[in-house]
Amino acid sequence: MARQMHALIERAKRDRDVDPPVKYLYAKADATLDRLKDVRVACRKGCSHCCHVWVSATAPEILHVAKQVRRRSGAAENVRAAHAITGGYSFSVRALRPNPCPMLSEDACTIYEHRPVSCRYAASPDDYACRRVMRELVREVVPMPLLHKRGRGAYEIATVIALHRAALPHHYYELTRG
């Protein structure tokens, strides 16, 4: 996975088109998630508790999302407004300052098919725990299926390795800040 991502990223650098590696990453992540469909999760359309905290994304994912934002009326203004509120927060402070992702509309993601891997793998069997932790700031751990944790970790590691090998920034950023 890391080798293939690296090759696609190198091609993307040459062609100045971030879409192929990001679409490849999303297709692989979605294929893995399809195999996890029997794992019980409470996540569904309208459940957006995790969309009120730090949303992690790599630079290629942010560039891919930026293309989608530019195509939607008012979306760029929503991102700027959200960034004005949360842009100065560190990861730990952001967790204490819930604010909706600017891609939300009526508690549904407006860029669902283009959402980052971190969003694709956000999963919990207990939506009440998510609400308590991410909106009410109760100190507890949100349960997450182990297979989702492992899947997210595997794709994040492969992406970081590929970006690092391509001599590109390989950190995760807050989506709105990006």
pLDDT of res. 142: 95
* Token couple for 126: 């207990």
Buried b (16+ CB within 10 A) or exposed e, 45-61: eebbbbbbbbbbbbbbb
Q: Please tell me the distance from the alpha carbon of residue 124 to that of residue 144, in angstroms, as a whole number.
A: 5
Which structural domain, as residue segments, surrounds residue 34? 2-174
SS3 117: helix
The Cα-based distances of 38 to 19, 125, 130, 150 in angstroms read 30, 12, 20, 16
pLDDT of res. 115: 96
Give 21-34 pLDDT, tens digit per residue.
999 999 999 999 99
Residue 56's pLDDT band, with cuts at 50, 70 and 90, is very high
Q: Please tell me the distance from the alpha carbon of residue 31 to that of residue 23, in angstroms, as a whole number.
A: 12
Give 31-50 pLDDT, tens digit per residue.
999 999 999 999 998 899 99
Q: Please tell me the distance from the alpha carbon of residue 46 to that of residue 101, in angstroms, as a whole number.
A: 13
Residue 111, pLDDT above cutoff 90 = yes
What is the rounded average pLDDT of the residues 125-140? 94
Q: Which sign does the torsion angle of CA 52, 57, 63, 67 carry?
A: negative
Sequence-ordered alpha helix ranges (H) in the chain? 2-15, 19-35, 59-70, 75-86, 91-94, 117-120, 127-134, 146-165
pLDDT of res. 89: 92
pLDDT of res. 73: 87
SS3 115: coil
How many CA atoms does the CB half-sphere of 7 hold within 13 Å? 4
The Cα-based distances of 97 to 1, 89, 91, 141, 177 in angstroms read 35, 8, 10, 17, 15
pLDDT of res. 60: 97
pLDDT of res. 178: 86
Residue 95, pLDDT above cutoff 90 = no
What is the rounded average pLDDT of the residues 128-133? 95
Q: Which of 121, 77, 119, 120 is nearest to 102 (CA)?
A: 77
Domain count, the chain: 1
